[in-house]
Amino acid sequence: MTSSSATLNGTVNANGLFTTAWFNYGTGAGYYTGTSTTQSVSGSTDTSVSIGIDGLSPGTTYYYRIAAQNIIGITYGDEMSFITLFDTSAPTGFVNISNDETYAIFATVTLTLSAIDDVGVTGYYISENSTIPSAANLGWSLIPSTSSYSASISYILSDGDGNKTIYVWYKDDSGNVSSPASDSIIFDTTPPIVTITSPTSNDTDTTSNSKINIGGSATDSTSGINEITWSNNFGISGTANGTTGWSIFRISLLIGENTITVTATDNAGNTGTDVITVNRTEGGQGSISGYVVDIEGNPIENAKVRIKRKNIAEKTVSDEDGFFEIEALDAGTYVVIARKMGYKITRKTVKLKEDEDVEIEIKMKRQ
């Protein structure tokens, strides 16, 4: 016997005929609204019949009788009664916010609700306050009684950025209230602040150089900075080094106005921007860059690269891709020399014009 089920027992003598037995039951004496499943009986002696029924109401008196039928007809037993147990078990519930997303940038989120109860879940109560509601509270959302409930609903978070914890309680037919199910999400609607501080904190800058380095800072008090990216008005873009303190190196400049937009994206997906317009004038310096490779085209790392001209000598080292670059060079003719142990020294002559960026390839042969 439970609050919602019972096992009914009786005895039938089939008197040697094939017989089918069952129970009628209901909440009124002599008035039966339910019929159990059946059990076959045979033989000529008393045979026990035991059949379970469910879907009963807790703390309720039920009346029942056994019935048996064969080719002779139907016979009914005496009426009996039982009382189901009172329901003291609360539902077991669950809640999930937006499929386990860590952050929300909009106030409306999706809650996935589910609960089970032996008798029947009849309502749920949602709050950002952990105070347990009574079963009579007006804030309950009522649902048709069901032993297993699940649904997805929309919920609007309270105002203000920060961590939001949502509590959900479930109640059953008997007024038992579950322990709170809860889940949390970080609500972040505020864009990060990104600031360009180098080469200037002003909105504009002027240079004759063909490339520029810029840097700055970014802050976000709720979810933190995820990445810093940049783009210009000529369709070029990239990713900065660093986040709260960031740098972008060797952005190419064309003659005239170059608008560079720096975008900070926080971990929730909000974005903030800062913009600098750089005016590149004519008559500026240029650069020589390129790749050091072997005769098969494979990159040579750590090759020593020198650029020489009368009274001028600059040097650098190729990276893992064989790349090198020397900037801030005046117009003129330069000799580029590459050295690497195990390879023959290789020279290349480059004529550099004002405001020109020249890229070359240096092929080195093994000794």
- 3-state SS class at 191: coil
CB neighbours of 139 closer than 8 A, spacing ≥ 6? 125, 127, 133
pLDDT at 49: 98
pLDDT at 16: 94
Going across the sheet that includes 245-252, the strands are: 193-198, 211-219, 245-252
Exposure of 198 in the CB half-sphere (CA atoms within 13 A): 11
Type of residue numbered 167 = Y
Look up residue 235 and give its DSSP letter.
Answer: S
pLDDT at 250: 87
Q: Which CATH number fits the domain 193-280, given the four candidates 2.60.40.10, 2.130.10.10, 3.40.30.10, 3.40.640.10?
A: 2.60.40.10
CA dist., res. 298 & res. 359, Å (int)? 17
pLDDT at 69: 98
For the purposes of burial, counting CB atoms within 10 Å of the CB of 28, is it exposed (0-12), middle (13-18) or buried (19 or more)?
Answer: exposed
Residue 214: how many other CB atoms lie within 10 Å: 22
pLDDT at 328: 83
> Which stretches of the chain score pLDDT less than 70?
none
CA dist., res. 205 & res. 202, Å (int)? 7
Residue 206: how many other CB atoms lie within 10 Å: 10
Q: Which CATH number fits the domain 286-363, given the four candidates 3.40.50.10470, 3.30.360.10, 2.60.120.10, 2.60.40.1120?
A: 2.60.40.1120
Task: Tell me which architecture the domain covering 92-187 has in CATH.
Answer: Sandwich (2.60)
pLDDT at 18: 96
pLDDT at 210: 84
- 3-state SS class at 253: coil
pLDDT at 191: 98
Identify the CA nearest to 168 among candidates 146, 153, 151, 183.
Answer: 183
Q: What is the pLDDT of residues 82-110, one digit of tens each?
A: 999 888 899 999 999 999 999 999 999 99
Task: Dihedral sign for Cα 278, 281, 282, 287, please.
Answer: negative
